[in-house]
Chains A and B, each alone.
Chain A
Amino acid sequence: QQKVQQSPESLIVPEGAMTSLNCTFSDSASQYFAWYRQHSGKAPKALMSIFSNGEKEEGRFTIHLNKASLHFSLHIRDSQPSDSALYLCAVSPNSGTYQRFGTGTKLQVVP
């Protein structure tokens, strides 16, 4: 069974800093990689996703994927207090039938 793991478990960064979140997976044949953000007491909401190796940028958010290293990451530029949330990574296997989630990284951005 594919394992999806996130690091760190929690993170505190100052406002304006660059934040980096990590996700590792165990199956190099996985085909879809996504990040979701969940504010306290709310539903998870999709942030970004990527299919192939490389980098994708949307506003302050950048996703990196390296399938050979079984690793992808989310980088948040100019972190804001409103970015404080639980960040969940998700991986879809080669069959593309569902998404399996990591345990999450709790991010706190302090003014």
Chain B
Amino acid sequence: EAAVTQSPRNKVAVTGGKVTLSCNQTNNHNNMYWYRQDTGHGLRLIHYSYGAGSTEKGDIPDGYKASRPSQENFSLILELATPSQTSVYFCASGEGQGAETLYFGSGTRLTVL
């Protein structure tokens, strides 16, 4: 089964600080995705990538940047964290373009104080 690893598992940040969430996948999947999960909202797409060097905006990109320096790694960057960004963040990878099984990491619980 596809392996997707996120770090850190938990993070507490201060308002206005910079936060970087990391994701690594070892299955050579082209596509990677960042979602956030909040009660009542399900999973919402923040950014995604088709391969190294590419990033695309999802449905809720404001306040977030993404970086895909290699096939294996995909980062989510909060330059100026706000309390509204307190959430659980999931990274996922997939072989095809959207119409494929997504494999999720275990999530990062981010609290912004």
Q: Which residues of A contact B (CB under 8 A)?
A: 1, 6, 31-32, 34, 36, 42-46, 49, 51, 88, 90, 92-93, 95-104
Report Cα–Cα, A67/B21, bound state, in Å. Answer: 37
B101 within 8 A of A: yes
State the majority secondary structure of interface residues on A.
loop
Contact among A32, A34, A36, A43 for B107, CB-based, below 8 A: A43
Q: Is the CB of A100 within 8 A of B45?
A: yes
Q: Which residue of A lies closest to B6 (CB)?
A: A43
**Interface residue ranges of B36-61 to A (CB < 8 Å):** 40-45, 48, 56, 58-59
The residues of A that contact B107 with a CB separation of less than 8 Å are 43
Contact B42 A96 (CB under 8 A): no
> Which residues of chain B (11-70) have a CB below 8 Å from chain A?
33, 35, 40-45, 48, 56, 58-59
Of B59, B98, B103, B105, the residue contacting A96 (CB under 8 A) is B98
Q: Does more than half of chain B's interface fall in helix, strand or loop, or is it mixed?
A: loop
Could you say which of A42, A92, A103, A104 contacts B99, with CB atoms under 8 Å apart?
A92
Pick from B41, B59, B97, B104: contact of A43, CB under 8 Å: B104
Q: Which residues of A contact B48 (CB under 8 A)?
A: 97-98
Q: How far is the CA of A103 from the CA of B44 in the complex (A)?
A: 9
* CA A95 to CA B48, docked complex, whole Å: 14
